[in-house]
Structure 1
Amino acid sequence: MSMGAMPNRKLRALPTAPIFCSAAYILHRSNRRGTIMAISISRNGSAAVLDAGRTFFNQKREQIARGFAGYAVYRRTRSELASLSDRSLADLGIARSNIRRMALEAAYGV
């Protein structure tokens, strides 16, 4: 039997769970006696809403954390370049008026 082939078992689909179930997984198997085992995990409407809320707030939290991290890179880059003398900046090929733009590029890729 090839790896992609499934053994010949009795599999049948049951009606799907209601729309408000965000995670409904139904597994059907037949054993030697021909009985069907069903393992079902479903959630009611309020649990689905709570899951959606958690997802939303986790995404916002990660977005805020990325913003703070980017701003920290911007501040550090700008302060380091601003602390250099005009001669050091000229050696690097950077004009003092370009420090802000270079810090934005380093932090945000703008």
Structure 2
Amino acid sequence: MSDTISLAAARLQQQVPAAEARIDDAIIAASSLMTSVVTARRDTPGVPAVKAQSTIHRIARLQTVLVGASGDALRIHGELADIARETGGLDLHECPAIAGAGDAAMAATS
């Protein structure tokens, strides 16, 4: 494997999981925000429930978008692992979940 491929693989092996973790952090933050907004709406006397409804709806949409982004990140991870396997840029021991899936797929085609 060339040094260029090794460097790219090493960089991606750090960046992809980091991106996945940051998306998870954003999902957690949005969920915490939702809890705080709904709790504040419920617990604030004299404020009609309708006042925060649009905000709650926007947070729910935000959560949906983030969950979609999380799924996309996981698909990206799988696609990059496939590319690495094809180019010899991945030591299968470094990505056990992907390596196991690849082994099962290879066994099915044999």
TM-score (norm 2): 0.41
The one of the two structures with greater contact order (alpha-carbon pairs below 8 A, sep at least 6) is 2
Higher radius of gyration, 1 or 2: 1
Higher percent of residues as helix = 2
Higher percent of residues as strand = 1
TM-score (norm 1): 0.41
